[in-house]
Amino acid sequence: MAKRALLFSLVSLFFAAFLSASPAQVADGPPCAVHEGTPFNEAARIKFECSSTRPLTEGASHREFALKLGSLAAIATPKLSWKQIDPMQEPARYVKALLEYGVKDNQGVDWRIEDNKASTWCHAPWFQDLRERLRGMTLERGSRPFELHARQQTFSQNWAIGFYNDVACRRLALVWQDPASPKTKDFAFPDGSYAIKLLFTAAAPSEVPYLAGSLEWDAAIGEKGEVTRMRLLQVDVAVKDNRLNGVSGWFFGTFMYDAATPGNTPYERLTPVGVTWGSDPTLTAFQYEQRGKAVRESWVNPAVAEKFFALPRHTLGLFGRLNGPVDNPKSSCIACHGQALDWGRAITRGSLAEVSAGLLMPGPPQDPYDDGVVGRYFVNLGTASFVNGTQPLDYSLQVALGIKNFRAWVFANYPQMADQTTDVPKFSFPTDPFEVAPAAPPEPSMELFMR
């Protein structure tokens, strides 16, 4: 009888542990593992639905991130509060309406959108190898000493996660309707598509005082999955608004957390940095420094700009263009997102194709006084691509990087399928005849986010 009781207790303990464990903990091998011999379609589905493959330590008591994908289900006509506001006449009110829209739906569930029963939000797929396990954040450009504040003595890591509204989610679902063959031909988001991104920093209030009292999350950002306390620093919003189709069709807005801003919650203390809809192509160093010209296709909050004027970065974006405190001061929101495109092929790390792509794709000017480089980067693309012969992806870096990561995975693991998993032409580089196979499988890319 005693033996039966002991056996029953052991079995009960086993099932209790099994049922309380996360799927990643009970999986056969690493999270979302694809075993040798798995058919391509099934392997692609496993990777597509995977939340995170990164390690996790010290996180047994934490809730893990759960990927939520877009749906093809019909959606109701959205009520878009910002449509009643003229962004040219009331830019501050317009960008605040964008922030309120995203926060209203998600703050109640602390951005665990799988818990949101009132509305449909989703994440972009194919970041499973980059997302940390607790909040699904991915590594962003880090903040160099003194970029955030005069007291900032050390480099700080920044991590972020983005969310899409139901209008945008349905378009993402169309791209990935077949997880083994994404469709990017003629890609464009419909009017009313909206995205919001929360950027957290490892910087402490002792070095960046305006972070005091900010929203805090634990994130497994260590190389072995060690958990670090992060603080909300920046929030980016973007909306497809067809009232300005000729320039970009988008409005990008940025907020920063500031402890000095009146408010009872961290969200109320988010201060608008600005809103932008174009790249100001004619704004050169001479125009800015010698003639006193200012941006015309952005509104930048002068109170926020003043905070950064005395720092080494001097401006938020180049020559007064809009960028967030975390972002590259030699770039701008619109110019950076304009790089979103699909090459129709894999571009692996260390390959000649990667070198060629880097030469074809304009990047932030290292020398701001080189008008030629500045002019090639700060252009108003409209619906065109930065590189002729490639498919533009409507200013969405998350779509572009997800596609890039998918194509690299296919090339490394199922090379015979590489040319069968694209519906846009494969871009041909002059160096293709001299290309050799990479020595190691390519790593997932965050290149555009890190610029």
Question: pLDDT tens digit string along 106-115?
Answer: 999 999 999 9
CA dist 135 and 65 (Å) reads 5
Question: pLDDT tens digit string along 375-421?
Answer: 999 999 999 999 999 999 999 999 999 999 999 999 999 999 999 99
Q: Domain for residue 385, yes or no?
A: no
Q: Domain for residue 213, yes or no?
A: yes
Q: Domain for residue 143, yes or no?
A: yes
Q: Domain for residue 445, yes or no?
A: no
pTM: 0.90
Range of 299's domain? 25-327
Q: Domain for residue 187, yes or no?
A: yes
Q: Domain for residue 232, yes or no?
A: yes
Q: What is the tally of structural domains in the chain?
A: 1
pLDDT for 437 equals 66
pLDDT for 5 equals 41
Rounded to an integer, the average pLDDT of 437-443 is 61
Taking all residues of the chain, what is their mean pLDDT, rounded to a whole number? 90
Residue that has been written with the tokens 């590489």 in this structure:
418
3-state secondary structure the chain: CHHHHHHHHHHHHHHHHHHHCCHHHHCCCCCCCCCCCCCHHHHHHHHHHCCCCCCCCCCCCCCCCCCCCCCCCCCCCCCCHHHHCCCCCCHHHHHHHHHHHHHHHHHHHCCCHHHCCCCCCECCCCCCCCCCCCCCCEECCCECCCCCCCCCCCCECEEEEEEECHHHHHHHHHHCCCCCCCCCCCCCCCCCCEEEEEEEECCCCCCCHHHCCCCEEEECCCCCCCCEEEEEEEEEEEEECHHHCCCCCEEEEEEEECCCCCCCCCCCCEEEEEEECCCCCCCCHHHHHHCCCCCCCEEECHHHHHHHHCCCCCCCCHHHCCCCCCCCCCCCHHHHHCCCEECCCCCCCCCHHHHHHHHHCCCCCCCCCCHHHHHHHCCCCCCCCCCCCCEECCCCHHHHHHHHHHHHHHHHHCHHHHHHCCCCCCCCCCCHHHCCCCCCCCCCCCHHHHC
Q: Domain for residue 377, yes or no?
A: no
Paired strand residues for 270: 257
Band of the pLDDT at 19, cuts 50, 70, 90? very low
Residue that has been written with the tokens 């056969």 in this structure:
28
Q: Domain for residue 450, yes or no?
A: no
